[in-house]
Chain A
Amino acid sequence: MRLWLKFSRRDSLSFISHLDAHRAYYRLFRRAGLPLAYSQGFNPHPVLSLASPLPLGFISRADYLDVELSQDMDLVEISDRIRSSSGGDALRLLDGTAIEGRVKALAGMLSFARYSIELAGDEVRATQACQAFSAAEVALFTKQTKSRVLQLDAKELVRELTCHENVINAVLSLGESRVFRPDELLAVMADVAGCRLDSRSITREELYIGDNTLHTPLEWAKLERG
């Protein structure tokens, strides 16, 4: 049975790599006694993938796991077992759903992510930076990928940008070769506004599917089921 599970993670679990996070989830499933399905082939591995990598040091309230169990189980029992095996509250299961039918890998469907960025400076500076960015016609920046240097317009990658006190709320592109990270956003905003912007903490609040209307993965799954 295939599942999409939504977790939050923070503290120690914010300081590990994508690969280490995968291993932490495998081990969680084994402690919980949930039988992971294994891939076929020469070197079988559990069918479990984290939909989007979390940059080191970020807090996540939206870690989505796309995972397959080798047998059908009751969702309530699955969540009970996970909750009693998570080992502390740095990792918490928030929600989840079974996925039926032919659905692509969640990782490939994501289009945007919502972040809240708590700034180290005062709120006036945060407001000014948001206003300056919103007023700008273009906000060009260069991004170094593995193979090339891209010149992109940050304005096209930001879907939503608001500010409340010293916290910036931003919905940023996650699309293929158009991934825009909140720390990159801060650098562009600082550039446009001509001031220094340092973050105290960055939290990934949600992930979305869709281009015109955004749905969280669990909303999307519910709509698909009809």
Chain B
Amino acid sequence: MIPAEISALLTKVYKPSRYAGGEVNMVMKPPAPGLLRVALAFPDVYEVGMSHLGLKILYKVINEQSDFAAERVFAPWPDMGDLMRDAGLQLYGLETYTPLCQFDVVGFTLQYELSYTNILYMLDLAGIPMRASQRSESDPLIIAGGPCAFNVEPMADYFDCVALGEGEEVILELLACLKANQGAGRAEKLAALSQIEGLYVPSLYEASYNDDGSFARITGKGPLPIEKRLIKELGDSHIPIDPVVPYIDVVHDRVMLEAFRGCTRGCRFCQAGMIYRPVRETPPEVLLSAAQRAIASTGYEEVALTSLSTMDYSAIGELLPVLVESLSCQGVNVSLPSLRVDSFSVQMAAEVVKMRKSGLTLAPEAGSQRLRDVINKQVTAQDLLTALQGARQLGFKSAKLYFMIGLPTETYDDLAELVQLVEQAARILPVTVSTSSFVPKSHTPFQWEPQFSIYELEQRQSYLKSAFRRNRQVKYNYHEAGVSFFEAVFSKGDRRLGAVIEEAYRRGCKFDGWSEYFDYTKWQDAFMSAGIDPTYYANRRIPQESPLPWDHLSAGLDKGFLKREWQLALLGRPTLDCSMDLCSACGVCPGLTVMPHTVRRRQA
């Protein structure tokens, strides 16, 4: 039953189901002595958080244990947030409506730099002190994980503990450790956690800086570096076959089956491709059986094969037809979230997958061959045009093309080639072109690179805008450069940015990833008042010999590999995919004693 003080608010807000809980497959464990309770907190709105596979996996592995309970909590949209404040209602877990402050652990996922203010917003709504140093023995332990954990430094002051890498094993070790230390004080618990591989306790470390303001080093009482965790082989136990099924339409509202983890195509801008190495495929029979069980438990009408590049799954040709066949009799479709830029992908997608043939999305990423060589995106203009021709023959009506602008070494010649390529593509099918601005990310070969200034990015956007204006077959969209700028600032930030995030939140910043809430001026003011220049982080080239604020947070990558890749980028030389070709010596496999694991030999 929804408590009266909550349901009184639900009739007054937009999409009340976001705050009501009670969905199919929800796991409800009432509080009991000895039960350790975790709130899995997603710092964005319900529809975004409920689309996230990681949350479903952690929810499953925690709730499978009789000693532990996991609940979900999302960032209330401002309409609900305001009403909760007025009513004095604290943020609660959706399963039992228990206030967050009564949990043992609150775990945030760090998917996106611009959701950092939402973490403070949620802690604030929960009545939990934002800074780890201000929390008392009775407050929950605030932990975090996810891709941005690899450079969590800007948020280091706010977390008691951070997990690096894949979370399904380490979360259970963390909870078991807390259970074993139940009577202990906070400091003692944190010291115990810091001894678990993959766990980082920021308060045990201190950052120092040189006189010129550049980062010097991290020193501390805990182990250095902290190595990421990973699952060596993916199997049935990693697939959430009975996820919570939302009642309202969420972004990805379907069964998600992880065909594989990791991608070693080696695109040099791509952080996901670097931090989730190596490739590990789930056996096809596991996927087939999981699909059936998941449909029986959820009633979903769609199953997606997810991964960073599903068409690279080595057994895709044999899996897809069987999967489609086994589901179609129940009125269930199969979908593929990401397609490669080649005709094989397009044919696969169209022939065996009953997808709506309205549109097709392809990501050539850069417009010129020179620049595609720089970023190691091994796709040619001909690949793209052939794929589009195939798509047209198969009945697709339009295509979406994704490009990045502002990539390292980009000139207007590259942009002119981008325009040319798009014009050729538009003669085959009407296209919608979307450009995002390159954001240099930690743990990539481009981590030392500056981002172009906002002014320069906007100049390049207007160049493309005017180039496409007269072409009625082309629609052009682009991401706001100011947003990409702050993404870059926090991607490569250090601990000094913590104060700015709190200042921005105090000034009203939240839901910064939503264009209706992103407020560039407020962020600028927050930086100004903290006396920090954001361009120092986003627009400066870092010398390769300088220590980096995230050097102690290891994704298993050898820094020499990243430097080598950076040099190859400048030379425009390729590095091949080690799941299909030679090892590129990134350091992950020997360092973490793991091997790439594919069902068949992958074909380039």
The chain A residues found within 8 Å of chain B, CB to CB, are 11-13, 15-17, 20, 23-24, 26-31, 33, 36, 38, 46, 56-57, 85, 87-88, 90
Contacts and interface: CB of A to CB of B under 8 A. Distances in A.
B295 A30 contact: yes
A221 B21 CA distance: 36
B136 interface: no
Given A16-B17, A26-B301, A30-B301, A56 B296 contact: no
Contact of A16 (B24, B247, B299): B247
Contacts of B16: 15, 56-57
B466 interface: no
A12 B22 CA distance: 6
Contact of A38 (B2, B10, B23, B331): B331
B10 A28 contact: no
B604 interface: no
Contacts of A24: 24, 247
A90 B298 contact: no
A20 B11 CA distance: 16
A126 B247 CA distance: 35
Given A31-B24, A88-B24, 14 more contacts: A12-B21, A16-B17, A16-B247, A20-B249, A28-B299, A30-B295, A30-B301, A30-B330, A30-B331, A30-B332, A31-B299, A46-B331, A85-B299, A87-B245
A109 to B, nearest CB: 28
A39 B346 CA distance: 29
A13 B242 CA distance: 19
Interface string B283-324: 000000000000111111100000000000000000000000
5 contacts: A20-B247, A27-B24, A30-B295, A88-B22, A88-B26
Contacts of B7: 57
Nearest to A88: B22
Nearest to A87: B24
Nearest to B12: A57
Contacts of A26: 299, 301
Contacts of B301: 26-27, 30
Measured as residues with beta carbon below 8 angstroms from the partner, the interface class of chain B is 20 to 34
How would you classify the secondary structure of chain B's contact residues: helix, strand, loop or mixed?
A: loop
A49 to B, nearest CB: 17
Nearest to A30: B299
Question: Which of A11, A26, A87, A90 is the most central at the interface, judged by chain B CB atoms within 10 Å of its CB?
Answer: A87
Contacts of B330: 30
A29 B17 CA distance: 21
A56 B12 CA distance: 10
Nearest to A201: B7
Contacts of B57: none
Contacts of A36: 331
Contacts of B295: 30
B22 A31 contact: no
Contact of A15 (B20, B24, B331): B20
Contacts of B32: none
A90 B24 CA distance: 10
A13 B330 CA distance: 25
Nearest to B300: A27
B195 interface: no
Given A28-B299, A30-B331, A38-B331, A20 B248 contact: yes
A17 B26 CA distance: 20
B219 interface: no
B1 interface: yes
B11 A56 contact: yes
Contacts of B10: 15, 57
A15 to B, nearest CB: 4
Contacts of B21: 12
A34 B24 CA distance: 17
Given A11-B20, A29-B299, A87 B247 contact: no
A20 B253 CA distance: 12
B546 interface: no
Nearest to B247: A16
B186 to A, nearest CB: 36
Ranked 4 nearest A-B pairs via Cβ:
A27-B299, A12-B22, A87-B24, A30-B299
Question: Which of A12, A30, A38, A46 is the most central at the interface, judged by chain B CB atoms within 10 Å of its CB?
Answer: A12
Interface in B10-69: 10-11, 16-17, 20-26
A118 to B, nearest CB: 12
Contacts of A11: 1-2, 20, 22
Nearest to A28: B299
Contacts of A27: 24, 245, 298-301
B11 A16 contact: no
A57 B6 CA distance: 12
Nearest to B28: A88
Question: Which of A15, A23, A33 is the most central at the interface, judged by chain B CB atoms within 10 Å of its CB?
Answer: A15
A11 B10 CA distance: 11
A87 B25 CA distance: 7
A13 B22 contact: yes
Contacts of A29: 299
A86 B247 CA distance: 13
Question: Which of B248, B295, B297 is the most central at the interface, judged by chain A CB atoms within 10 Å of its CB?
Answer: B248
Nearest to A29: B299
Contacts of B25: 87
Contacts of A16: 17, 247-248
A20 B299 contact: no
B422 to A, nearest CB: 32
A46 B330 CA distance: 12
Nearest to A46: B331
